Amino acid sequence: MADSAMEVLTRALSGHGINEKAMIETLGKWDQEEKRLFRKSSSQFFSEDERCCFERWEEHGMRLLKHEFMRFKNAMVLWTTHPWERDARLVKEALSKGHHGQNLNILIEVACTRTSDELLGARKAYHSLFDLSIEEDVAAHMNGPQRKLLVALMSAYRYEGPKYKEETAKLEAKEVAHAIEEAATQKSSLIEHDDVVRILSTRSKHHLHALYKHYNEISAGRSIVEDLRGDLSLQEAVLCLVNPVKYFTQILNVALRVEADKKIKKALTRIVVTRADKDMKEIKAEFKNEYEVSLGERIESVCNGSYKDFLLTLLARSD
């Protein structure tokens, strides 16, 4: 399978174009091991990063491939890139283009929806690719209270197991509720509250799920996300941590609007590629339930050409 793809890629770099349909049929069905073997055997596109033990794209190969693939070039590059490098480059791109709107979403998304090991891998790749840490770069590019929140989230290495203390979760739900009330009274930003940042950046996701449930109980059925409408960064961080499927569904819906700007539309590629082998089945179910149309149908009606075909191929992996 890798040999077939190599032939197509070699033709692409010769400047004679590619068979996009064959590429979709080949690469779109690969599992993680097949992608790893492809990176290992494709020295003209990837080199071994001996320090961090992953296969990284060669810059010249990436530039040529991106140019040749045209509309679905970014999806193909993201799909074949090692997940550590992919997340590291997503963070770097977000930081290099400022820290407003969708770019800030990317930082929160990577920090809060990846496992501890995935985030640690992205941090390792960032060291190797850019000769500095994610935390260092975030701190250099961000200003104000958002800097403290994002550095803390990016630095996290959460416990991934199922155990947590129910009483502690209940107590911290009360602390968060009190902090929200206090911030509303004083008209201050909740991001400046040290305990809220500590809880969100250190507690396990099982713990945060329990905290979320207890918050609903003590706030007459309102959720933390609802009560954080004045703090968009915190709102998105909480949603990514406790209900990433809902978060991704909402972002996809916005990205698939005809009037969405170019920057927001890029989220469609990012989410379909990064979640194809994670929770895409749940995302598709949530999308259908929320918007009464399937995600595939929305993509069919909005997207075009090989880009559309490739996205639909990745969606079909979770059927």
Q: Are residues 3 and 76 in the same domain?
A: yes
CATH of the domain at 282: 1.10.220.10
Q: Are residues 3 and 77 in the same domain?
A: yes
State which of 26, 57, 81 marks the end of a domain: 81
pLDDT category, 54, cuts 50, 70, 90?
A: very high
In a domain, 124, yes or no: yes
Which pairs with CB-CB distance under 8 Å and at least 24 residues apart come from 95-101? 95/137, 95/138, 95/141, 99/141, 99/142, 99/143, 99/146, 101/263
Q: How far apart are the C-alpha atoms of 47 and 15, rounded to whole Å? A: 22
State which of 179, 208, 242 marks the end of a domain: 242
Q: How far apart are the C-alpha atoms of 232 and 21, rounded to whole Å? A: 41
pLDDT value of position 274 = 97
pLDDT value of position 143 = 85
pLDDT category, 308, cuts 50, 70, 90?
A: confident
Top pLDDT among 2 and 18 is at 18
Top pLDDT among 277 and 13 is at 277
pLDDT value of position 39 = 87
The distance of Cα 119 from the centroid of its chain, to the nearest Å, equals 10
Token code pair at residue 141 = 């590019």
In a domain, 248, yes or no: no
User: How much is the mean pLDDT over the chain?
Assistant: 89
**pLDDT tens column, 243-297:** 999 999 999 999 999 888 777 888 999 999 999 999 999 999 999 999 999 999 9
pLDDT value of position 71 = 60
Top pLDDT among 125 and 4 is at 125
Q: Pseudo-torsion of CA 162, 197, 174, 158, nearest 10°? A: 10
pLDDT value of position 97 = 65
In a domain, 189, yes or no: yes
**At residue 246, what are phi and psi to the nearest 5 degrees?**
-65, -40
Residue 111: closest CA among 132, 126, 129: 126
> Residue 181 carries which side chain, given as an amino acid letter?
E
Measured between its terminal Cα atoms, the distance across the chain in Å is 22
Q: Are 145 and 188 in contact (CB under 8 A)?
A: no
In a domain, 308, yes or no: yes
Q: Are 267 and 255 in contact (CB under 8 A)?
A: yes
Q: Is 80 exposed, middle or buried (0-12, 13-18, 19+ CB in 10 A)?
A: buried
pLDDT value of position 99 = 45
pLDDT value of position 63 = 75
pLDDT value of position 40 = 87
pLDDT value of position 231 = 87
In a domain, 228, yes or no: yes
In a domain, 92, yes or no: no
The residue to which tokens 């958002």 are assigned = 146
pLDDT value of position 102 = 53
- The answer to whether residue 45 scores a pLDDT higher than 60 is yes
Top pLDDT among 236 and 265 is at 236
Indicate the SS3 state at residue 242.
helix
Q: Are residues 1 and 76 in the same domain?
A: yes
Token code pair at residue 240 = 């990514």
Token code pair at residue 226 = 């609802």
* Residue ranges making up the domain that contains 311: 263-316
Token code pair at residue 26 = 């080949």
Number of domains within the chain: 4
- The answer to whether residue 16 scores a pLDDT higher than 50 is no
Token code pair at residue 188 = 């201050």
39 beta partners: none
Among the listed ranges 5-14, 34-43, 99-108, 187-196, which one has the minimum average pLDDT value? Answer: 5-14
Q: How far apart are the C-alpha atoms of 212 and 217, rounded to whole Å? A: 9
48 beta partners: 55
**What is the mean pLDDT of the segment spanning 104-119?**
96
Query: Cβ–Cβ contacts within 10 Å for residue 223, how many?
Result: 16
Q: Are residues 126 and 173 in the same domain?
A: no
In a domain, 126, yes or no: yes
Residue 153: closest CA among 194, 209, 108, 122: 108
Q: What stretch of H or E contains 150?
A: helix 145-154
pLDDT category, 116, cuts 50, 70, 90?
A: very high
- The answer to whether residue 57 scores a pLDDT higher than 50 is yes
Top pLDDT among 175 and 98 is at 175
The percentage of the chain sitting over the pLDDT mark of 70, rounded to a whole number, equals 90
Q: How far apart are the C-alpha atoms of 129 and 82, rounded to whole Å? A: 13
State which of 184, 207, 242 marks the end of a domain: 242
**What is the mean pLDDT of the segment spanning 36-49?**
86
